[in-house]
Chains A and B, each alone.
Chain A
Amino acid sequence: MIKKCLTAAVLASAFIVTPAQAKVNPWQQCGIGAMIFPDNGTAAAISNIIWDLGTTAVSSNVSSVESCEGANVKTALFIQQTFPILEQEIAQGEGEYISAMLNVRGCNSAAHPQMISTIRNDFSQTSVNDAQALYTLVESNIASQFSANCSAI
């Protein structure tokens, strides 16, 4: 019984909302903007070596701030690294990267089709030229329409 309670507490702690996490700007406060991401083969070969050493880039190299460990920061990192593919998949309305992004954000898979459709609709009406703009669009959609389907941050 004690074990079950502690297990539940551990699980619950993963989803505890802290004001610091909710308000954080991953690009400005968690160093995502300063991270170097490979965009060609040579850079990737080198960055493989760099990236593959720490446990995670965010926790071990860039920031140890607790507020930078929430699902929103992980989502921001995912978007930053895979933005060109996400653009393509949003235009097509489906794909494994966009689904994975919503998984990272803690969104219920049953809601994914509706969320992707909504994001796609907004994407067509606004100018989304970089990862940060896409992150803002995703978070605003979650806040306004899908907060019940996604984990709190």
Chain B
Amino acid sequence: MRHIPEEELHAYLDQALSRAQAVEIESHLAGCARCRMERDAIAGLRDRTTALLSTLAPAQSIQRPAWAELRRRHHLATARRARIIRGAVWAASLVAAIGLGYGSHWWLDQAREELAGTRDTALSPTRPATTTVVTPVVANRSPAPRGTAIASRSRPIERLEQDTLSSAPTVPASGVWRTESLERAVASGLTVPRVAGLPVLQIQVQDAPTSSSSLVAVEQVLTGGELVRTIEGPAAEMAALDQNAVASNSGGADAPSSVSMRTGSRMLLMTARIPADSLRALLAKLRTK
């Protein structure tokens, strides 16, 4: 005769079995003295455990605050969260407007210095951004700059815009993209725009005669799984890309946010399926080397 396994007796005493299982065990117990002894031993063990655990109680009795008090805390927390979010949006727009314009100068200068330092080319580290020659990578593509005219400006333009696009900026059909490793991309003096601390999935480069006019697209992934795409390149090329993306806009509730930033003749475009203010926070963490 099969005896009842001990875990089943625990489950039986814990009333964790179905009615049918319990009946089966009870009918076995009725005819099996050994299992009855085992059941009594387990019942004793169970009571002993409960008694031991009951000593693990605080000396003071547990007073339950009124439910209304918890509701009040919940309202406070919700209101505080809303305030924080409003404040963060405000602060982010301020930071974006002032800080990033300034910061982007800095990183582009750094990138230029790096280029000048690592490559023996005609590029001069002191040359102003506006004189950087924009070389269209593909001859048959007509760049369609949007917004303010780039060429007519005599000083770098700092601009931050926020669009809602239905799709990430799609890589133009023309032009050859190659996949590059982060180390090699950085080593070859390319500007690799990426958010510090996020794993890089892929880097794609569209080559141009000088590395400063190459387009670099970086794909990173957030902990929530959302893809963040950042593309950096000459503004004329980028404006065309951006326009392509706008042209394919079909709307939709889960359209990704997009932030673009222009400094002088350079432009950077970042898209992800996350709220716009989160995207701007990511933009603040951007590194280019």
- A is bound by B: no
